[in-house]
Every structure is written in C-alpha cells, then in structure tokens.
Amino acid sequence: MAARNGTASGLAATRPASVASSSGAASDSNSRPLASDGPIASTSKSATAVPAPNVGDKLAVLLTTLSAQDDESILSIAVEEARESRDDHRLGTSVNPSGVGIGSRDGKRQTGRVYGGSQGGDIHVWDLATLSLRSRLTGHDGAVLALQLIPERDWLVSASGDGTVRVWHTPTLSLVYLIHPPHDNIGDILSLAWVPYNLLDKADSDRRPNGAAARVRKPAGRLYAGCQDTSIQWIDLPPPFQLSAEDVAPVSHGGRMSPVSGSPHSPPIFKTPNRFFDSLTEADRARTRIGLSASSSGRHSLNTSNAATPLASSPVGSAPKTSPPIAHAQEAGPIRTQFEPNSVELQFQAECIAPFAHNGYVYCLSLAKCNEQTVLVSGSGDETVNIWRPGVDALSLLSTLESEYDAVLAFAARDNTLFAGHQGGVIKVWDLDSLTCVRILRPHKHDILALSVIASSLFSSSANGSVQRWDLRTFRLAGEWKAHDNIVLASDVRTLRRSRTQGWLLTGGNDATVKIWDVRDEDVTSPLSPLDRGFQGELFHTLAKFVSYRTIADTEHREECRQGALYLKRVFREMGAETHLLPGAAERNPIVLATFKANAPPRPDTPRRRKRVLYYGHYDVVSATASERWTHDPWKMSGQNGWLYGRGVTDNKGPILAVAAAASDLRRRQELEVDLVMTIEGEEETGSAGFQEAIRSHRDIIGDIDVVLVSNSYWIGEDWPCLTFGLRGVIHATLKVQSSRENLHSGIWGGATSEPLTDLVRVIASLTAPDGSVQIPGFLADVRKLTSQEKLLYETIVQRCQGADTLKKLTSGSIISDPVQSLITRWRQPALSVHKVEVVGPAQKSLIPSAASAAVSVRIVPDQSLEAMIDKLTKHLEAAFATLRTENKLTIDITQTADWWLGDLESPYAQAMAKSISAQWHLDPLFIREGGSVPSLPFLEQEFGAVAVHFPIGTSSDNAHLPNERIRVLNLEHGQTIVSKWLTRIAEI
C-alpha cells in the first residue's frame, strides 16, 4: 500500500512510476495521453537551499500541540473557519444534511474546527476556540488519506484506504453519504478535489439524469477522487433526486440496485449481494443493519451508523444539572451516535471514471487557474502533472507536464501558479498559463509530503520532520525548522481574520500530533495588533514574552524582575493605558501602575463621575527548574491540547493580561465607561513587602476607588465557573531552639546535653492532640457561626458536582468523608500546619545540631483577630517549652501575616460579576470560599473603603506553584470577555 504512514519515510518505499498498478495500468512512461505543449524548465532555474536561519518569532512560533487520541499518525488535515449558521434558502430548498429534500437542517455552530485524519481510520475534531479535542468521527476501516471541506454545504469529505468516501455534516458531525467504489479493484483513495457546479465546463452539454422517478435538481458541485489504481473518479453531490422518506430509510443490503447509466449522479444504493455480503451470516447482516461491526469485517465497511463518537472526558451539549456541560465543547446538543436515518449510500458509476489518468498512483488533486479557466490538476507516481478540464459531461485531458524527478506527492496552487512537491526533495513551480516550469526548489533530499501557501510564503513539509518557508517574491529559502520528531505528513493553513499577511500553519506528523504554528509575512510592531488580540493571536506572544522573564522575588533575580516590570509597563502603555513604575520597599521589586481611562460617551441617566475600579495582581512567581518534573521548559511558554504551560501563566501573569486586554478592547472601541487602575506588585509570593506603603504614598495617582477586582484563585474543578467570596487569613511563624554550644558528636555527648532538635519536636508535638485537633487554648474561639444560607451554597456545590470527577477531587485526601463538611473545614475553619524542620550545619547521622528551626502556619477565619491568634500561639509555645528540662533557648519569629477576607455576594458589583459569568459560560457560577490567603486584598478593601470582587479564571488543575503550571486558553479568552461585560455592567450601578 502506498498510503502515507508513520512507519516509512513517506512514499519512498515504492517507486510508483515503475510499479504496475493493481488494475494493470501500463508502466511505459512514454504512453501518456498528451505531451506537454510548453517547454520543460532547465535545472539552471533551480534554487538550492541556503543555510537556514535559526527559528525565531519572525519565522514561526508554536502556538499549541494537538494530540491524536488513538496515537496514530495524522495523514490529512482540514481547517474550517468559524462561520454563522447559514440560512436554509442558501441551499436552494429546505433540506436535511444529505440534501435529499426531507426534514430540516439542525445544529448550529459558530466556532472553527481542525479535522485530522489518522492512520487508524478516525477523524479527530478539534475546536479552534478551545484548542482541545472535541470529538472523533469513526467509520472508516482504513487510514484517512485525504480530507476536503466544502464550506458552502457544511460538508467534510473523507477518503480512505478502505476504498470509500464519506461525507459528513459538520454542524452535527453526522454522516450524510457513504460512497462506494465502482468495483473492488479501486484500491486506496489517495486524494480529493471539489469543483463547484458553476465552475464546470458546460460547453455542448445538455445531458440530464434519466429515470421517471427522479425529479432533477442541479447539484452543488462535483467531487473528484484520485485512486491507487491510477484512475480518477467523480460523482455529483448532492444527487439530483428528491426522494420520499421511505427512499432514504435505513439501508437493507439485500435490496436491489437501480443505477442510472452514464450519469455522474448516483442514486441511493440498494445493493445486490456481492462477495463481501455473501460471506456474512444472517446474524452479521443484522448487526450491520443496526450499526454494529460484523464479526468478520471485510475491507469496505458499510457501518453507516458510525458517525461521531463524543469523548467521555469532554461532555458536550445538554447534560443533567449535576453534570456540567462546560465549554470543552460548545455545541447546541449532544452528537448523535445512533443510526443516522437520513444518511444515504451512493456509488461512483463505472461511466464516471478516467481509468488510466496516470501510469501511477494519483497522489494529489487540486483546483487551479489556467488562462482564466478553472482546471483540475493531478499528480502521480509516474512523475507527471496532468491538467484536466472538468466538464459537465466528461473530464478532458488538456496537457501533461513532464518531469525528470520522482513521484509527485503534494500540490499547492495560487492563481495560475502550481507548486508540485516531489519524492526526493524537489519542488517544481509551474506557470499554468504558459505550461512552463519557472523554478525548481531543492531544500534537501527528503520527500516533500505537503505544501501550503499563506500570502507570499510557501511552506513545504518533509519526510525528515522539517518545514521550510520560501519567500515567493524571491523564491529564496527564508528559513527551516524541525516541526515533528520524524515525518510531516500533512499541512493546511488558516489566515487570520482581517489579515492577509498573518496566519496559522497546521502540520500533522507520524508522532500522532497536529501542531499549530503562528506564521506571519511581515513584522508586527505592536505587541497587540488589533487584527487578532486573543490568546491564540497577539496575546499569546505577549504572554509568552512575559513568562520568559524569571520574575522570582529574590536577590538573584532582582534585575530580571525589574526588566519584567518594565516590559509589563510597556505592554500596558501600548494597550492604551497611562503607566507609572512605583518604587517598593528598599531592595525590593517595583510596582507597575496602569490606568485605562474611560472614553465612552457618558450616559444621560448616569452620574457625571465615572466609577473607578482598582485591579490587584502580581508579576512575581515562585521558582521553577527543569529538574522538578516539568515536561516543558518552565520559562518558555508552550501550548498543548488547549492549555498553555509555563511558570506564571495562571499565577498571575495570564489573568493580568486578560483583564488588561478587556479594558484595552473596550477603550479601542470607545466603549470603556469606567476607569480601570491596575496595580501589579512584584513581592506577593514573599509577603508583599512595601506594597501597603507604596499604595498609601501614591493615593493621589490612584484616586478614589469604588470597587476592587482580584483574579488570583481557581475553580474547584475544571467544569464549573466559580466566584470566590471568602479567604482565610494566615500567620507564618518560625520557631527556633538554640543551644549555647557548637555542634556535638552524639557518641560523646548523647544523653548528657540538652538537644535543640529534641526540644523542638516536643514543642511542635504539643500543638496537636493524637486525633489531630489543635491544642492551643481558644483556637476555635470567635469563629463566625455558619448560617443556613451559607451552608446551602456548599450543598449546592456538592449537588452540582455529583457524578463528576470534581466531587471526587473535593474529598480526595481528606479525612472527612462528608463532602459538605470537608468544604466547611477547608474553607471556614481555622487550621494549623507544620511545613518543615531544619537543623544548623550538615545533617549527619552522628551529629547533635546546635540549633533547629521549624516553619509553622495558622489559618484564621472570620471573625478571628490576627493579633489575638498571634498572642495565643506565642503563649502556648512558650508554655510548652517551659515544661522542658533544658538549657536551650526558644525564639518565635512572626514572618508574615494576612487577614481574612469575606466578600458580600449581595453587593451589586458581585451580582454584576455573577451575571457576566453566567452570560459567557451559560452556567450559573458556584459561590466558593478558599483556604488560602491574598494578603493585599483585605488591605485594599479597607484602605479605599470599597467592596472587593474575587473572580477566579483558572481551574483546580492549573498546578500553580507546582511543576507543569498551566491555564486553559478558553478560560483566558472567556475571562477577558467576562471582565469586559462586568466593566460595562457596573457603569450602570
């Protein structure tokens, strides 16, 4: 089999020009129907590859990697742009997806998709909005070798090594047509091309489909298929027959076939028994009719019920209220997996085939322009390119372009220029008007397996895993990079909206991945071009650059923190904000202050003074090294399956940019009705040293504040959006027991001296009882009483999470089996933790250390007092130490404190946020509290006398502070939109 696969270097295992085809095509390379009319280009016009530059942002940036769920090679790719659902009248009549005149079109979709055909026979469907796997289309019994989108019909056409073609309705991901070959010797279907009906040559044509039962209707176009047996076959779709519902009932394989002789329009098939079905038992026939695989499946599957298989891990559409339909998929309803009653089986007619279109496999088909006429071009293992006139009546050969190079494996066309990729690493550039070769490009000696064009760039993908970028203005090699580990088998492009010079290149390889590369044809001077401002566009590059700064708040990284702050200040300014860099504490990191001023026309019924919002965030991060089990470089942001990975992407650099982008977009449209002041500090992870003093000393710049916004926490799972209304406070303390003597040898002094580590362990042990309860007197005093309304919020969380993995995560690791009580304990009860114990000097087994220390923290809750809890902790530790017979000294150092915070869910600002979340996610948020602390939040609320709203963007699996920190692209995009909606809503308050 000459199909592309992941186990050989493309198609080099066979030399199609010299191998007889399965249908007995002649191997004589001189027996072509027609010689080329134009001269053959000489090798003097060839362009060899110059040394490739290093891959940089100007060449290609990897946005994300999409993984095939079946771990099979990706052989074909098709990119579908986001579109509004079309009106039925554009299809000429009210039709169902198959276009046969019954029912109505169902399913509406506005997001774009990526389709990837795999070696295993599945078609993976990734959502461009979420960059995550949406579904898988199953049914083919062989590799999916070609994909063709027909946007005007909402069709996806797939060709396979099983010899069949399937047509899918993309809004519903349901099967429309299953098209069989005219005979069993067709082999693999290697390539596809679609010609709209209005582009078919209609000269001297008055043929119409025959048959008294048929009511003729003009088809939308003609589908051409290049085959392994050297033929090209075609069929018109939809078939020009308007049939009754009985005519398209589920197929019975024992029926009769009613062909239309000499027509490219195949009626629905009611097949006579053939060799395949004769071998089936009655039980197998019954299984086939209901959509199950027969026990002994043949080469050509007739399992028409295999439509879309939704992912168990990605719920779609409507679901029970206890199972959230989160935006892994944004469909209006669940994908149907039962038998598709409106799908139709068709067959290529024997009269609609060019039997020896080439003397080798027909690897590629494409539409092109030749002297202002639409032509079909075909490439083959016989080393030639054939140019065909696609007519209503026939496929007529116009010319053959000869070549001394190996098999033609890939095409890309732009107007009257055809790029042909050959086995052996040659790209020939043909002028189809003059039928001459104008350039020969030789990047290397590896097979060229895919070609794609964006603006003035040609991208060639090769069997060695590399992609080359050619400048079509000079035909020089602009650069080369390693795209996949082994073989690049397929590519497609997506041009960004409102831009002809920027786009995505998508490549598929035998490493079972599709990679999305951001490629651009010219420099973009602004980090936030208005052409595409999302986290799949310019914000991706801005965040990637932001992540690359190792903004760790310690002495070693002080300068890098300053550079990161300067970069953020520059980004804010280019977004339209007024910016300042405020000094922090001595020898500490600066604070970035940015103000997006309202510029929308004032509403007649609103107060003259604009509301002013203060956003708090931090650009400092915790440390990260590759040795910490990171699968990605923590300082080089990368995308995979809809997630962005890198230190700080979720804590807190990603949310910072999402909020800024929301205000910037509103301001750009002159719709920003409130002032947004952003204060971004660089010491949050180490206690916010100097932050309060800096804020107080710059109140004149910040101004009066109406509401504080924070986005520095996470959902309780991955499925339900949340709104945080409470945080615990924290007291961090260091206990140290010190001896007056130096380190001692235990063999000499053991038992005869007071040991600091032993004393420390006894003091720590006094903090808790054997059952885990805290022994500090008054530890549970002053805890605010749980109201029935608050308890109902926790019960609602548990109820919504029933049946989902989220509920399991809520109780995982907890010693409390009741999930409601577990939440209450984690969120609104005080707690004590011991974090680490250290000794002075080397930790040797025979050494008695002269000092030992421990880190302890206490979490407090409303209405406990920081000062009172510090006093209780200190007195208990001192009393416990006093009971010891020891000469050592105990010191207690309170290193960091943060007060608790409790928001008001009834405030109009919180209500506006809840409504904005619901409007974007189409789900009411869960109201949650958190056990952690944000030191600056209660301070800002008290300092400015303003209520605070805490809006989490990330999910519980974001791994903040841990290896492989990440955030979902969809959450960033929706987070930006939610903040935009909220800023607009609160202007009315």
Between CA 324 and CA 718 the distance in angstroms is 10
Is 630's pLDDT higher than 60? Answer: yes
> What confidence score (pLDDT) does residue 304 get?
32
Q: Distance of CA 137 to CAs 134, 141, 513, Å? A: 10, 12, 17
Average pLDDT of the chain to the nearest whole number: 81
pLDDT bracket for residue 858 (50, 70, 90): very high
Between CA 358 and CA 31 the distance in angstroms is 10
DSSP for 392-441 reads: SS-EEEEEEE--SSS-EEEEEEETTEEEEEETTTEEEEEETTTTEEEEEE
Q: Which residue has the tokens 């199909």?
A: 3
The whole-number average pLDDT for the span 257-278 is 41
Between CA 828 and CA 931 the distance in angstroms is 7
Q: Distance of CA 775 to CAs 102, 145, 765, 768, 892, Å? A: 75, 69, 10, 5, 18
> What confidence score (pLDDT) does residue 104 get?
32
Is 949's pLDDT higher than 80? Answer: yes
CB-CB neighbours of 799 under 10 Å = 14
The lowest-confidence range among 33-47, 333-347, 651-665, 801-815 is: 33-47
Would you say 49 and 444 are in contact if contact means Cβ atoms under 8 Å apart?
yes
- State the first-to-last Cα distance of the chain, in angstroms, to the nearest integer: 69
Gyration radius from the chain CA atoms: 34
Is 209's pLDDT higher than 80? Answer: no
Would you say 488 and 74 are in contact if contact means Cβ atoms under 8 Å apart?
no
pLDDT bracket for residue 322 (50, 70, 90): very low
Domains in the chain (CATH in brackets) are 1-53+359-446+454-478 (2.130.10.10), 542-727+901-915+922-950 (3.40.630.10), 730-783+829-898 (3.30.70.360)
The lowest-confidence range among 208-222, 226-240, 596-610, 763-777 is: 208-222
The lowest-confidence range among 252-266, 578-592, 712-726 is: 252-266
pLDDT bracket for residue 536 (50, 70, 90): confident
Provide the token pair at 528: 């936030």
DSSP for 848-908 reads: E-SEEEEEEEEEE-TT--HHHHHHHHHHHHHHHHHTS--S-EEEEEEEEEE--EE--TTSH
Provide the token pair at 691: 């932050």
Between CA 963 and CA 628 the distance in angstroms is 6
The whole-number average pLDDT for the span 58-68 is 88
Strands 46-48 and 436-442: parallel
**Single-letter amino acid, residue 780:** L
Is 525's pLDDT higher than 50? Answer: no
Sign of CA dihedral 47, 50, 52, 58: negative
Would you say 406 and 422 are in contact if contact means Cβ atoms under 8 Å apart?
yes
Question: What's phi and psi for 903, nearest 5 deg?
Answer: -85, 170
pLDDT (tens digit per residue) in 31-56 = 233 333 333 233 334 444 433 334 44
Would you say 619 and 43 are in contact if contact means Cβ atoms under 8 Å apart?
no
Between CA 614 and CA 599 the distance in angstroms is 17
> What confidence score (pLDDT) does residue 526 get?
45
| CA nearest to 177, candidates 231, 120, 241, 128 | 241
> What confidence score (pLDDT) does residue 248 get?
37
Helix axes 866-882, 756-765, angle to 10 degrees: 130
Is 962's pLDDT higher than 50? Answer: yes
CB-CB neighbours of 429 under 10 Å = 21
Identify the residue with better confidence: 198 or 328.
198
76: left (phi over 0), alpha (psi -120 to 50) or beta: beta
Q: Distance of CA 599 to CAs 558, 591, 665, 668, 928, Å? A: 37, 25, 12, 9, 34
> What confidence score (pLDDT) does residue 806 get?
67
Would you say 395 and 234 are in contact if contact means Cβ atoms under 8 Å apart?
yes
Provide the token pair at 697: 């000393």
Bridge partners of 927, per DSSP, are 723
Would you say 355 and 344 are in contact if contact means Cβ atoms under 8 Å apart?
no
DSSP alpha helices (H): ranges in 455-557? 538-548
The whole-number average pLDDT for the span 746-764 is 83
Provide the token pair at 516: 């999305």
> What confidence score (pLDDT) does residue 288 get?
32
> What confidence score (pLDDT) does residue 401 get?
97
pLDDT bracket for residue 521 (50, 70, 90): low
Question: What's phi and psi for 45, nearest 5 deg?
Answer: -90, 5
Is 159's pLDDT higher than 70? Answer: yes
The whole-number average pLDDT for the span 955-978 is 96
The whole-number average pLDDT for the span 947-970 is 96
pLDDT (tens digit per residue) in 474-484 = 999 999 999 99
> What confidence score (pLDDT) does residue 21 get?
31
**CA 75, chain centre distance (Å):** 20
The whole-number average pLDDT for the span 884-908 is 96
> What confidence score (pLDDT) does residue 817 get?
79
Is 233's pLDDT higher than 70? Answer: yes
The whole-number average pLDDT for the span 890-912 is 96
The whole-number average pLDDT for the span 756-762 is 95
Between CA 806 and CA 823 the distance in angstroms is 13
Would you say 168 and 151 are in contact if contact means Cβ atoms under 8 Å apart?
no
The whole-number average pLDDT for the span 946-971 is 96
The whole-number average pLDDT for the span 14-28 is 31
Give kind and range of the element (H or E) at residue 759: helix 756-765
The lowest-confidence range among 191-205, 223-237, 353-367 is: 191-205
Would you say 682 and 923 are in contact if contact means Cβ atoms under 8 Å apart?
no
Strands 675-681 and 612-618: parallel
Between CA 493 and CA 77 the distance in angstroms is 9
Q: Distance of CA 880 to CAs 443, 708, 873, 988, Å? A: 77, 43, 11, 58
Between CA 534 and CA 542 the distance in angstroms is 10
Would you say 724 and 713 are in contact if contact means Cβ atoms under 8 Å apart?
yes
Q: Which residue has the tokens 């309304």?
A: 789
pLDDT bracket for residue 555 (50, 70, 90): very high
**Single-letter amino acid, residue 364:** C
pLDDT (tens digit per residue) in 67-92 = 999 999 999 999 998 765 333 333 33
Provide the token pair at 569: 């200040």
Buried (b) or exposed (e) across 744-776, using 16+ Cβ within 10 A? Answer: beeeeeeeebbbbbebbeebbebbeeeeeebeb
The whole-number average pLDDT for the span 151-176 is 96
Provide the token pair at 982: 């909220």
| CA nearest to 505, candidates 529, 479, 533, 543 | 479
Between CA 288 and CA 252 the distance in angstroms is 9
pTM across the whole model: 0.80
Q: Distance of CA 526 to CAs 488, 532, 678, Å? A: 32, 12, 21
> What whole-number percentage of the chain has pLDDT above 70?
76
Between CA 723 and CA 721 the distance in angstroms is 7
| CA nearest to 8, candidates 389, 481, 489, 339 | 489
| CA nearest to 370, candidates 413, 429, 433 | 433
**Rounded to 5 degrees, what angle do the CA atoms 507, 518, 447 make?**
30
Would you say 146 and 191 are in contact if contact means Cβ atoms under 8 Å apart?
yes
Identify the residue with better confidence: 751 or 115.
115
Buried (b) or exposed (e) across 973-984, using 16+ Cβ within 10 A? Answer: bbbbbbbbbbbb
pLDDT (tens digit per residue) in 286-317 = 333 233 333 333 333 333 333 333 333 333 23
Bridge partners of 844, per DSSP, are none
Residue 193, classed as helix, strand or coil, is strand
> What confidence score (pLDDT) does residue 205 get?
57
pLDDT (tens digit per residue) in 362-408 = 999 999 999 999 999 999 999 999 999 999 989 999 999 998 899 99
| CA nearest to 379, candidates 365, 368, 390, 389 | 365
> What confidence score (pLDDT) does residue 846 get?
76
> What confidence score (pLDDT) does residue 35 get?
30
